[in-house]
Structure 1
Amino acid sequence: MNQYINKPTSAFIAASWVALIAGIAAYIIGLWNAQMPFNEKGYYLILILYGLFAAVSLQKIVRDKLEGIAVTSIYFGLCWASIIICAFLLTIGLWNASLQLSEKGFYIMAFLLSLFGAVAVQKNIRDLDYLRTHSQTPKLPEFPNTDHNDDSQ
């Protein structure tokens, strides 16, 4: 790896988890309380799940490329396409939804906060795992005791 990985601070780790949990919770609570048919709620639920998966996959593949891990162009393209498709579907769904403008903005912001949180949490997990596996100090070889003085006599 060509770059130096800094250990994420506890504050950034906590903020990442809070962003992820707050974004998902707000989105799900908003869906639960929304006055829309179940099939529409299911559409928005699938979009958040698809978006989270796509964001984590994209973050992983970008990191793999940085670390010199072989990445196929088809998977890289699929990850980007998934993010774009997900954002497009959310935009189309909200554009055509019979929701107030403030509700539409709420869903957009909760969605984006969730994706940001997922990427940040994935990055932190990856950084901590890398540091844990690569920062183990090598053990010094143990040499046999060369002291031939025998004090027991």
Structure 2
Amino acid sequence: MSNDNEVLLDKGKQNNSKMKTERKEGEPTSAFKGASWGALLVGVTAYLIGLFNASMQLNEKGYYFAILVFGLYSAVSLQKAVRDKEEGIPVTTIYYGISWFALIVSISLMAIGLYNAGSIVLSEKGFYGMSFVLSLFAAVTVQKNIRDTQKAKERG
């Protein structure tokens, strides 16, 4: 009976090792990649659903949508510029400065818009602020994961 158990254990170990994919050095784990994409999807989807269901005018909805798109782009752009600079890839000072400026402007526009929004209750303001920040953070993390994965594959 113990020989049968040993055979089953050996087969289980073989199956586990076959299922396990090898990860290159410096590549993020699949769990981290999935969590990052999940956070981005949850943040952006929640923000957009909240915006769709909001009882504000269409121009206000457009304002908040534009800030989300601008914020996502500026966050990813800044992350890329910072990382390029860190890795010795040339980044012009003007691009680096504009990237910082764009992110600061997008966050400021969101804060000012929410502060001045009289038609939005405080809990909604908190919801938009949190989903905006989650989306920005997740976009940076997703971009970083994509770059780390690409770099790990190039190293071979």
TM-score above 0.5, yes or no: yes
Amino acid at match of 1:133: E
Unpaired stretches in structure 2, ≥5 consecutive residues = 1-24
Aligned to 2:147: 126
Aligned Cα root-mean-square deviation (Å): 0.8
Match of 1:48 among 41, 50, 68: 68
Equivalent residue for 1:73, pick from 90, 93, 96: 93
Match of 1:145 in 2: none
5 Å-filtered alignment, 1:25-44, equals 25-44=45-64
1:108-147 to 2 correspondences below 5 Å? 108-135=129-156
Gap regions ≥5 residues in structure 1 = 136-153
Deviation, structure 1 residue 66: 1.4
Q: Secondary structure of the residue that 1:70 maps to in structure 2?
A: coil
Q: Distance in 1 between matches of 2:149 and 2:47?
A: 28
Cα shift readout 1:14-45 (whole Å, capped 9, x = no counterpart): 11000100000000000000000000000000
Task: Give the TM-score normalised by structure 2.
Answer: 0.82
What is the CA distance between 1:104 and its match in structure 2?
Answer: 0.1
Runs of 4+, deviation exceeding 2 Å: none
Equivalenced residue count is 131
Query: 1:8 aligns to what SS in structure 2?
Result: coil
Q: 1:64 aligns with which of 84, 87, 90?
A: 84
1:14 counterpart residue number? 34
Which residue is equivalent to 1:101?
A: 122
Greater helix share, structure number = 2
Code of the residue aligned with 2:63 in structure 1: it is Y
Report the Cα distance in structure 2 between the residues aligned to 1:46 and 1:55, rounded to whole angstroms: 14
Q: What letter corresponds to residue 55 of structure 1 in structure 2?
A: A
Give how far 1:67 is off.
Answer: 1.3
Identity of aligned residues (%): 58
Q: 1:57 and 1:12 mapped to 2: Cα distance?
A: 21
The Cα shift of 1:47 comes to 0.1
AA in 2 matched with 1:127: D
In 1, distance between residues paired with 2:29 and 2:151?
Answer: 15
Cα distance in structure 1, aligned partners of 2:153 and 2:79: 20
Is 91-100 or 102-111 further displaced after alignment? 91-100
Distance 2:123 2:109 in 1: 19
Instruction: Report the CA distance between 1:133 and its aligned residue.
Output: 1.1
Q: Which has the greater radius of gyration? A: 1
In 2, the alpha carbon distance for the partners of 1:46 and 1:96 equals: 17
